[in-house]
Structure 1
Amino acid sequence: MASVQSEERVDRDAYRRAVGRFATGVAIVTTRLGGTDYAMTVNSFASVSLDPLLALFCVEKIARFHGAVLSAGVWGVSVLRDTAEDASRFFAHRGRPIEGRLKGHPHHHGRLGVALFDDALATVECRTAAVHDGGDHSIVVGEVVAVATPADGSPLLYHEGRYRRLSG
């Protein structure tokens, strides 16, 4: 029988294992500030509302991306194909050099000036509408101002701490 935590504080590792069983898509969120592109891998992107059109993602408060995206007020999301695991790993790694970080990753700048990956399954561009405290993360909610579906294919997934692909 599966174990159940008591009413006491939930163990952080047990929580990570439990929520890790929820498969998520993988995306790269971008912003542009002072002529510099910033990018970060996320699996916390979600649609919020159809009226008005709203989406969200979560960003750790200590990440360089946090200050950049809050200052810029605009951001883009590129939903990754199952062939983009290398890009996902690269943009998930802390301490990447700021300059030239998008070199080698075909992209263009969208309506809001943010980088969007050319081979993404979908792209979404947003203006920040609200930022909410989420513990060690901020929940960034944006008004959707542009969308596109540049490529076909299967999505890159993340489940139980590993990249996965759809089968069949």
Structure 2
Amino acid sequence: MMSQIWRWPLHSPRRLLGTLLLLVLVLVVVTMAPTLWSASGRPSASPARTTDDRPAPAPTPSPSSSTAGPSPSESEDYGQALDVARQFVSAWAGNKSSFQVWYAGVAVHATDDFAQRLATVDPKNITARGVIGKLRLTDTGGGGRTEVAVLTDDGLVSVTMLRDRDHRWLVSDLQPGAQQEAG
């Protein structure tokens, strides 16, 4: 019986190829299953929050967002994203006494690539002096990425946040202006 099972895929090149493809598919599914199951969207009572604990506006839809909303663990992480965004923008707009002090304050909250870009910035050219308003999530598309609108004394900035392998939120970009609220 076992010899028949082993001989079946070797009967023709088509069977061998089909068997190999099926084996690869099974291996991919087995290795990806934990990721797929943990990334499945579950409805959340509060997909976003603001720093002043008022109900947040609904996030703007994005092509990568699921209709079910972020999972509960992602919702909790958005609070951390807001905190990191506030700390980063405060450091970015704040102490400009020396480049080393300024850079140390912003680089700790930035991805490696963005930290390298920040190394070319002259902080004296930054006209903002601090955060003056509440922060709001403008894109919670999931996948370890979100955007936060931050009101500074020089206007809105949009902070792009990425979650690293240790599930920490880090700033990957900062642009003037911000996405509009859904509404």
Q: Over alpha carbons, which structure has the higher Rg?
A: 2
TM-score relative to the length of structure 1: 0.26
Of the two structures, which has the highest relative contact order with CA contacts closer than 8 Å and spacing of 6 or more? Answer: 1
Q: Which has the higher strand share?
A: 1
Q: Which has more helix, going by share of residues? A: 2
TM-score, normalized by length of structure 2?
0.24
